[in-house]
């Protein structure tokens, strides 16, 4: 699973901003960050890829869990991508100008389902990790709090 920041090294793919983007992105990865055992607010990144004739287009963003199972984008202005959008005058749009288009992509994807799936996988792993940590002491208590 490649980290989302690797998108900056992908070759750029140019596309007219006015051209509709089909819902052809596929889930590539979702990571849950280890925030030092802080269960109050889990976070991570998700990455989606669309294979076009001009090359793969990737989009990725950070997410945060506000309440158990309720996730949202951490910062809608910070979608990482190798997609370069072209305006009506032939100019490459700035990050600020592209944000609306990129957020439309995020909105059409079932990304929250994938994030919840990753969180459920982490939840299922917690009891095993607590047992592996010895099942007693402060470490086991921290794992137990995470699993609750």
Q: Can you give the residue range of the structural domain that contains 85?
A: 4-120
Q: How far apart are CA 78 and CA 75, in angstroms?
A: 5
In a domain, 14, yes or no: yes
Identify the weakest region by mean pLDDT among 2-16, 53-67, 71-85, 89-103. Answer: 2-16
**pLDDT at res. 17:** 96
In a domain, 140, yes or no: no
Q: How far apart are CA 67 and CA 84, in angstroms?
A: 34
Q: How far apart are CA 4 and CA 67, in angstroms?
A: 24
In a domain, 97, yes or no: yes
> In this model, does residue 13 exceed pLDDT 70?
yes
In a domain, 75, yes or no: yes
CATH of the domain at 75: 3.10.450.610
**pLDDT at res. 29:** 94
**pLDDT at res. 143:** 45
**pLDDT at res. 121:** 82
122 phi/psi in degrees, rounded to 5? -65, -40
pTM: 0.78
In a domain, 128, yes or no: no
Find, among 45, 44, 46, 51, the residue nearest to 83 by Cα. 51
Map tokens 């006015």 to a residue: 18
Number of domains in the chain: 1
């Amino acid at each position: 699973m490649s980290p989302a920041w690797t998108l900056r090294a992908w070759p750029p793919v140019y596309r007219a901003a006015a051209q509709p983007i089909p819902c052809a992105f596929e889930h590539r990865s979702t990571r849950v960050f280890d925030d030092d055992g802080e269960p109050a607010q889990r976070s991570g990144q998700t990455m989606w890829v669309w294979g076009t004739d001009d090359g793969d287009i990737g989009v990725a963003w950070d997410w945060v869990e506000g309440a158990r199972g309720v996730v949202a984008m951490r910062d809608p202005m910070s979608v990482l991508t190798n997609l370069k959008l072209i305006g009506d005058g032939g100019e490459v749009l700035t990050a600020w100008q592209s944000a609306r288009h990129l957020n439309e992509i995020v909105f059409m994807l079932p990304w929250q389902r994938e994030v919840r799936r990753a969180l459920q996988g982490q939840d299922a792993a917690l009891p095993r990790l607590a047992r592996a940590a010895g099942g007693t002491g402060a470490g086991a208590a921290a794992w137990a709090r995470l699993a609750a």
